Chains A and B, each alone.
Chain A
Amino acid sequence: MARYFTMLILLSVAASSAARAAGTAKDSFQKIRPLLFQLSTSAQQDAEKKAYGTGFVIDAHGLLITNFHVVADAVNEPETAKIYLIDNTESTPVDVVDFDVIHDLALIRVPREFSSQIRIASEAPDNGDTIFSLGLPEDLDWTVVSGIYNGVIDQKPYELIHLSAPLNSGMSGGPTVNDKSELVGVNVSGYVSSQNISFSIPAKYAVKLLADYQARTDKDQPFDPTKKLESQLTSLQEILTRDLLASAKGKKDLYGWKIPKAPSYVRCWGTQNKSAPKTVKSYSETCGLTNQVHVDDDIALGHYRLGHLLNENSGMSPFSFMRYLGLDWDGLTTDDWNYFDEKRRVNPGQKTCLSRKVNVATRQVVAEACYRPILPLKDLYQATLKFFTRQGNEKAQTSIIELNGFSRKSIVAILETYLKNFGEVGRDKH
């Protein structure tokens, strides 16, 4: 009897809590729904949409916030893609007047006045607070989903709110609000393979984008997306480079080599290569930024990847060992970005590769640097730096640094730092 009583209490508490949450979701939906619009990208006004997302009114004087990736096609291929605001069955052409490509935000101007605008939360929710995300998932109907606020993930330079809410395609650009229906973030992404791990962009970046636009004196002048992309990506890569170079001063011992450390916000994975022959001990470690700046569906910039392959020969002939290392050298490189489309704003330029045997301190390193300019962005490149060295036929190290959207100065500085530190022998701990 006592046991039955305890269970009853718990259930009633849960029921009470659920009832409260459902009520707030309904409130949020009712308050926010009038501020939500579908934004679609299509070739012409009456043509079928090629992409769509959600936008919400942040300024009643015709300004909406959405994700950059929702309108990326229109920004990058203005000749073949236009953005339209869908209000019931009415389709209105709209313009992108500003964007923050780093934080995946875009500001849309609509030639009309709205009756209200979203309220901005004055402070971030506490971890564990219930929040609500709204949007148009899978082109079904306007939807509100509830979730839990789990704080801001400090993945500099990209900050993201981690929320446990089921965000789906089509909700991108929609608002994430607190229980007072105030904006705390902008829906942006989620892990496909995970359950309810979703992200939204902190509201402060949307507020800043709006404020910057409103502060502009040249609002009537034509907006130049290329220059905007260029300046934002340049600023971003400066931060990434600074952190990368600073962290590289620290080293860790790994399988007998000294490896430069990656910044703390970079995620690393290490694995023992089980497909390697029995006569080779092969360990690989890959570090990379979780987030990327998606300029286009095909073009991701503002990110890098560091890969290290450490092989120890435990009985393989030098012939086979070198052959195996040759495979490694090839296998390290990820798919090259070489898809050119003249209708696109941003395209890859001509690739150049230079490889030399380089004297680095007392060791010889084979170094290869490949780069291609990202056109027409000035002084931004995609570069792949690969290094190889070996100690006799006993062990070898191969490393790769893939830099996407970095300046010449940054690439050279990273090359210099990493090459100088490459191939240093460390303590063998295993």
Chain B
Amino acid sequence: MINIEVYDGGRLIEKCVATRFPFRVGRQSRNDLIVPLAHCPGVICEIDRKENGYAVREGDTANVLAGRLIVTSGRLRVVIEDITHFDSETTQEVQVAKSNSGTYADSWISLGLFSILTAQVILIEYYNPLRKSSVDLFQPLVVYSLIAISVSASLSILSRAINHQYEFFRILRSSLTSLCLTPLIVQDLYGARWFLPSFFHFKEGYFTIWYLWGLLSLLLLTKVVFEHIGNYVRFSFVSGSLALVALLQFNDYVPIRDSFKYPTPETKALQIINSVGTPVEFDDFIKLIDESMSESADK
């Protein structure tokens, strides 16, 4: 058991016991104060640096003193006693971060599902006859990853800068991750032209796209409406991911199953019908064939 004390300007506002890592001491509130968790039974608390930015947040000072971890953030100070998990000699900011980098089972499931989804999208992309070349396979992935990272970083900085509540951005980042997969799928659906204006013109019948957008909207809405029911959000996220994977497997518009349903055509055939390069003019092609046949006749 780990004793945890939370001080506000020297005043002890929270005292509880954590039995496991990660642990949470407080919950973000509108008035920028750490307040006791309403649903924390008082003996089991958790601290999650990412979730409770004011309590323990990146950039906060954290020191180990006499076997106690003291995290200071502004006028807030979190004292965590009997931290045997941490190195007692040095500044522990990094270790705090590490100790709080764990996630929940449902998050792992979500991550797993999205990994499967991503793998499938990559698989589709690999076999995508609309893909122009093998090099292009990685280009969208790199681009989307960079977008995801930069937007997430921007949101983090922004949320920190405006000293805003953190929960909303957390779910937003998760949603963003999902969102970043969308262009890959859209790319398949629209034939590598997702970035064109037609991307925004959803055609009737492209249910997957609607579903994806609907799912993301629902997640955000759920979070806003049921802000205090975190498990519900996570449940939605998991079930939504499951449904999405199922949909991708059995939907007519996303062809994962078609990868297995239709035998792979000769790569050459697909290369030919998707031939890259600058189109030649009609007369030039006729001339090319004529000359080629002439040359073969001369041999």
Partner-B contacts on A (CB < 8 A): 279, 315-320, 322-327, 329-330, 349-350, 352, 354-361, 364, 366-369, 371, 373, 378-379, 381, 388, 393, 408, 411-412, 415-416, 419-420
- Chain A: minimal CB distance from B267 (Å): 9
A326 pairs with B270, CB closer than 8 A? yes
Within 8 A of A (CB), among B34-61: none
Given known contacts A315-B205, A317-B253, A367-B285, is B190 in contact with A329 (CB within 8 Å)? Answer: no
What A residues does B274 contact at CB under 8 A?
A: 322, 366
Considering the chains assembled together, what is the distance between the CA atoms of A356 and B273 in angstroms? Answer: 9
Given known contacts A354-B288, A408-B293, is B273 in contact with A319 (CB within 8 Å)? Answer: no
A318 pairs with B269, CB closer than 8 A? no
- Chain B: minimal CB distance from A19 (Å): 63
Partner-A contacts on B (CB < 8 A): 124, 127-130, 188-191, 205, 252-255, 258, 262-266, 269-270, 272-282, 285-286, 288-290, 292-294, 296-297
A318 pairs with B189, CB closer than 8 A? yes
Tally of A-B Cβ pairs under 8 angstroms: 131
- Chain B: minimal CB distance from A421 (Å): 11
Considering the chains assembled together, what is the distance between the CA atoms of A340 and B5 in angstroms? Answer: 90
- Chain B: minimal CB distance from A91 (Å): 43
What A residues does B282 contact at CB under 8 A?
A: 358-361, 419-420
What A residues does B290 contact at CB under 8 A?
A: 408, 412
30 contacts between A and B (CB under 8 A): A315-B253, A317-B255, A318-B189, A318-B191, A319-B130, A320-B255, A320-B262, A322-B130, A322-B191, A323-B264, A326-B270, A326-B273, A327-B269, A329-B265, A329-B273, A356-B275, A356-B279, A357-B275, A357-B276, A357-B278, A359-B280, A359-B281, A359-B282, A361-B282, A366-B273, A371-B293, A373-B297, A411-B293, A412-B289, A415-B289
B275 pairs with A408, CB closer than 8 A? no
In the complex, which of the residues A322, A327, A352, A412 contacts B286, with contact meaning CB atoms closer than 8 Å? Answer: A412
What B residues does A354 contact at CB under 8 A?
A: 288-289, 292
Considering the chains assembled together, what is the distance between the CA atoms of A324 and B255 in angstroms? Answer: 12
Considering the chains assembled together, what is the distance between the CA atoms of A94 and B127 in angstroms? Answer: 61
B273 pairs with A322, CB closer than 8 A? yes
B279 pairs with A357, CB closer than 8 A? yes
B124 pairs with A356, CB closer than 8 A? no
